[in-house]
Amino acid sequence: MTAATHTARALEARAALSLPYTHVDTLFINGTWTPARGTARNPVADPATGEAWGSVPDGSAEDVDAAVASAQQAFHGQWPRLTPTERAAFLLRIADEVEKRAEELSLTNTRENGSPVSESAGAAANAAGIFRYFASLAGYLEREDVRAFPRGGGESIVRREPVGICALIAPWNFPINLVVIKLAPALLAGCTVVIKPASPTPLSIRIIIDAVAAAGVPAGVVNLVTGSGRLGDALVKHPGVDKVAFTGSTPVGRKIAAACGELLRPVTLELGGKSSAIVLPDADLDAISKVLIRSCMRNTGQTCYISTRILAPASRYSEVVDMVTATVQAGQQGDPLDPNTVFGPCATKAQYRTVLDYVQSAVAEGARATTGGDAASLGGGLEGGYFVKPTVFADVTAPMRISREEIFGPVLGILKYGDIDDAVALANNTEFGLGGLVFGQDQQAALAVADRMDTGSVGINFFASNHAAPFGGRHDSGLGTEYGIEGLNAYLSYKSIHRKR
Ligand code: NDP
């Protein structure tokens, strides 16, 4: 790995930052920043230094009541009665307002969760793209849908109505876009929402709220509460909530699914993953090297769909190990505020400990670290940061913990396969089913392997989620989909009006 270089000492660089939100005592309810009911607070730490630089209210059940009441009031107002085209115009204005705030969004996001600015710099454009994509679906909602009875004699008018008040709960790894991918379709559908961000990342989302307010969205349509998982639980179970959309871990997803099952409340769950990249025997390793970090270690390995298990043919195993090792070693680890940084810190101290525990388990189970394999101490003001050295393990086998469980850190494992059936069986030998990759020069052969992978998305020679295509997990990776028309449908309730002709 190239030595970390810092253009300025980390603490000085941070002191010079001018961020719109640091220590705040308000929640966004009924169109205004409103003081929280209680006095409890949660700190916000900079994972690159460990320094607590911000704080937010640790909201209470009364705050959730107020936010849901505000969303209910707005749902009884004009918002759901506007035409989809009228709501789409708001989405387009929000997109413009988000783009105006790109730098503050990026820097706040990076200070909250340590995503390198090379990653967070794209957050505003991506969020704006999501708002614009869903705005483009207004025509789908407006199209009259009249279906004849198959045996004749009558017809049914199919109405697509907003499902109601939605609880949007997000994790810390992409704190802006994992809210926006819920917010944009909910708004287009005519729903009103209460957002609960993750405790480590409660500030960047406030900038999205500012964009929503600047776009003129009516009071009460979008509300924000901050607080712990306990607050999330209160929101999920609140009698005034009609639908829950959640991204986060599988264990919390199960609890939410159980609560929603009991309440018969619609729920969308985007959960964890353990995805595989199958390197076919004809793969171009130089080409893989160019997309490897983005596809397999994006955001310092803290991305749900990345393929952290690399399956290499026995005939080319050592070549693949050398390529992956050299590619990871070439990525600079350092201050996430440095535009050249590829690998930042883990987002939280708890996650740092979890990742190091996985690294130790891999060594104990016989995996061979070809690079990394330890905590990193970077100096330059970053001594207190949660840095794990980007790590590659060779000689990984299917039963090892790092091969079965989601690590959510900068750690790759390389497994060996015999033939294609063996590769597909290894890839599908997981409780998850979120992402996956096939690397190969013969497109037809690669597509045939992609078709055999038991997962919600697969990339061929690269991975990127497409706003227009459904994204969701199978098995322990979730329920339902986001993105695309399918993602919009999750915020609709259907009504069929039958009549004689
Ligand atoms: P968690 O599941 O711990 O938390 C996610 C959100 O749920 C947070 O806002 C959290 O609040 C809240 N929460 C915690 N407990 C409850 C509860 N009982 N009821 C309602 N809400 C609750 O996940 P992490 O934040 O740790 O995120 C990392 C995980 O998310 C990884 O496993 C990753 O794979 C997954 N993920 C999945 C993605 C996908 O699209 N499939 C995308 C990104 C991440 P608080 O922070 O206050 O605890």
Q: What is the pLDDT of residue 1?
A: 37
pLDDT digits (tens, 9 = 90+) for 85-121: 999 999 999 999 999 999 999 999 999 999 999 999 9
Residue that is written with structure tokens 């339902």 in the block = 480
What is residue 343's DSSP assignment? Answer: B
Residue 5 has pLDDT above 60, yes or no: no
Q: Which two tokens stand for residue 492?
A: 């609709």
Confidence of residue 501 (pLDDT cuts 50, 70, 90): confident
Q: What is the pLDDT of residue 3?
A: 39
What is the C-alpha to C-alpha distance for residues 338 and 347, in angstroms, rounded to an integer? 16
Q: Which two tokens stand for residue 147?
A: 């279906």
Residue that is written with structure tokens 């009609």 in the block = 242
Ligand 1 within 6 A of CB of 248: yes
- Name the β-bridge partners of 369: 393
Enter the pTM of the model. 0.97
User: Is residue 304 among the annotated active site residues?
Assistant: yes
For ligand 1, atom 38, which residue shows the shortest CA distance? 304
Neighbouring CB atoms inside 10 A of 143's CB total: 9
Ligand 1 within 6 A of CB of 51: no
Instruction: Considering the candidates 97, 304, 346, 482, report the single residue annotated as catalytic.
Output: 304
The 3-class secondary structure across 21-88, one letter per residue, is CCECCEEEECCEEEECCCCCEEEEECCCCCCEEEEEECCCHHHHHHHHHHHHHHHCCCHHHCCHHHHH
Residue 4 has pLDDT above 90, yes or no: no
Through-space distance between the first and last CA atoms of the chain, rounded to whole angstroms = 73
Report how far ligand 1's centroid is from the alpha carbon of 346 (Å): 15
Residue 355 has pLDDT above 70, yes or no: yes
pLDDT digits (tens, 9 = 90+) for 443-495: 999 999 999 999 999 999 999 999 999 999 999 999 999 999 999 999 999 99
Are 25 and 57 within 8 A, CB to CB? yes
For ligand 1, atom 34, which residue shows the shortest CA distance? 272
Ligand 1 within 6 A of CB of 171: yes
Confidence of residue 8 (pLDDT cuts 50, 70, 90): low
Neighbouring CB atoms inside 10 A of 82's CB total: 15
Q: What is the pLDDT of residue 12?
A: 85
For ligand 1, atom 18, which residue shows the shortest CA distance? 233
Ligand 1 within 6 A of CB of 128: no
Are 255 and 232 within 8 A, CB to CB? no
What is the C-alpha to C-alpha distance for residues 277 and 312, in angstroms, rounded to an integer? 9
Q: What is the pLDDT of residue 13?
A: 85
Give the Å distances, CA to CA, from 172 to 12, 112, 259, 391.
Answer: 25, 9, 22, 22
For ligand 1, atom 19, which residue shows the shortest CA distance? 233
pLDDT digits (tens, 9 = 90+) for 176-191: 999 999 999 999 999 9
Are 346 and 300 within 8 A, CB to CB? yes
The secondary element (H helix, E strand) that includes residue 165 is strand 165-169
Give the ligand 1 atom nearest the CA of 252: 2
**Taking Cα atoms as reference points, which of 299, 393, 311 lies closest to residue 344?**
299
Residues 6 or more apart whose CB falls under 8 angstroms from that of 422 comprise: none
String of b and e for 105-118 (b: at least 16 CB within 10 Å)?
bbbbbbbbbbbbbb
Report how far ligand 1's centroid is from the alpha carbon of 249 (Å): 5
Residue 2 has pLDDT above 60, yes or no: no
The secondary element (H helix, E strand) that includes residue 246 is strand 243-247
pLDDT digits (tens, 9 = 90+) for 205-260: 999 999 999 999 999 999 999 999 999 999 999 999 999 999 999 999 999 999 99
Best residue among 178, 224, 249 to mutate for probing ligand 1, ranked by most atoms within 8 Å of CB: 249
Between β-strands 267-270 and 275-279, what pairing exists: parallel, antiparallel or unpaired?
unpaired
Instruction: Considering the candidates 112, 270, 406, 482, report the single residue annotated as catalytic.
Output: 270
What would the mean pLDDT of 439-445 be, rounded to a whole number? 98
Report how far ligand 1's centroid is from the alpha carbon of 250 (Å): 8
**Taking Cα atoms as reference points, which of 293, 336, 304 lies closest to residue 109?**
336
Residues 6 or more apart whose CB falls under 8 angstroms from that of 148 comprise: 154, 155, 501
For ligand 1, atom 48, which residue shows the shortest CA distance? 229
Q: Which two tokens stand for residue 207?
A: 């900038």
Residue that is written with structure tokens 């294609």 in the block = 420
pLDDT digits (tens, 9 = 90+) for 300-325: 999 999 999 999 999 999 999 999 99
What is the C-alpha to C-alpha distance for residues 245 and 167, in angstroms, rounded to an integer? 6
Residue that is written with structure tokens 């609140």 in the block = 238
